[in-house]
Structure 1
Amino acid sequence: MTDDTVQKILDAALMHVPFDGWSEVTLRAAVADAGVDPVVARALLPRGAVDLALAYHRRGDDLMAERLRAEDLNALRFRDRIARAVRLRLEVVEDREVVRRGTTLFALPMHAADGARAIWGTADRIWTELGDTSDDINWYTKRATLAGVYSSTVLYWLGDDSLGSQATWDFLDRRIGDVMQIEKVKAQVRGNAFLNKVFAGPNWVLSKVRAPGAVSDPDLPGRWTSPR
């Protein structure tokens, strides 16, 4: 019921966002249009329009995940699966102006951390849907790298007027290609005995980093294994 009410308010808000942004004006209009008690709305969205914008972002992640699961990705290279997921995430957006307004909101210093967490959440959702099982430092590097690719692609897409957003998809392929080149260099470094000795200390420290546990505090960046 709680989530249904938030979704109801969100549906009503989408017609106001292109004109008034993710603002209190939009929130009040959406609550009235949805026929929701303002007290209930404030309890569900204590930070107002910011929480509503984050709910919209999470809805996009959910829609992307649904479409991704419905596709047969077996014939695709892994880099192409990632590109497909990012593309689906953008294609589920019905009104580009709604995303543009959200980008403006989360560019504000007081909301920048929320925006960064939302982008990280999208990257995490993509990796999870694609079956990532890493539980070491790679858990973080994969998501951090994809978050950078995704955020830059969104900014490019917002200004793209090419037919079918083809310029954006080409941009996305180039960014993923850049990442693959970095991974190739990292593999070469790992295979170099001399460099392995040079970086033995840092590598040992990084080897102790683990992905967040299922029951760990969500506000903590991760957990460490006990020294052996």
Structure 2
Amino acid sequence: MKKRLRPLLPAVATLTLAVAASACGPANEGAASVKSTVGIPTPPSTPASSPASPSATASPSPTPARTTSAPTPTPVPVKSTVAPRTRAAWPRVSFAGLTFEIPPGWTLTKHGSDACVQPVQRAGLPTTFGCAGIAVKSGSIAGNELRPYEARQSGGWYAATDVQPCPVRPTLADGSFNGITSGTSSPPAESGLHPVGSRRAAYDRWTAACANGYSFSPQAWHLPVSRVLFLDYTGHAETARVLESVRFPG
């Protein structure tokens, strides 16, 4: 029995050494090591072909040409050569405690507690109650048919008890009288508050007409605290600036 066991000892020792060597190697290689020690030939490993590196096979891409853009010009501000328009100065007058401007070539004519601002040369201009411009009344102001004036008064602009001549052509071609025939006792067509200087006045506008068909729109701006009334019977472009220029005492 002893003689038969001796030949097996070298083979067992060889197998033991192979298993011990495989325990020290990487895990993914343990099965291959065990097979080689028992006499099974291992086919030669074929090296895997590595894919070609893109940097090695691809031709270098051409460098794009550098484009240089022209600098954007900075806009140069253009100075205006047009001088600002300045408003020509008007002379300033005083009446009833107020001061205001009147157009050049106009004059202020006083009649007691009333006044008229009108052109010096007024021949042929529309004239109402002897005034060819803007009437200014103060104190105890007469309204419709000489009654005390009130805002929104019917016919408040008509301070007369008789038929007054038309502002234009008071006498017709046939010599007949051309008088004011309507609007002398009618209510205002428009009422409200309008600025006069730094204050607000009670504004009224009426409509009136004459026998020959001429129509006009008297307008009034009443300042009850200052006890002043501005009346523009036929409409003047200068009236707006006159009212804007009004300055009050204090």
| TM bucket normalised to smaller | under 0.3
The structure with more strand, counted as a fraction of residues: 2
Point out the structure with max Rg over C-alpha. Answer: 2
Q: Normalization by structure 1: what TM-score? A: 0.21
Q: Normalization by structure 2: what TM-score? A: 0.20
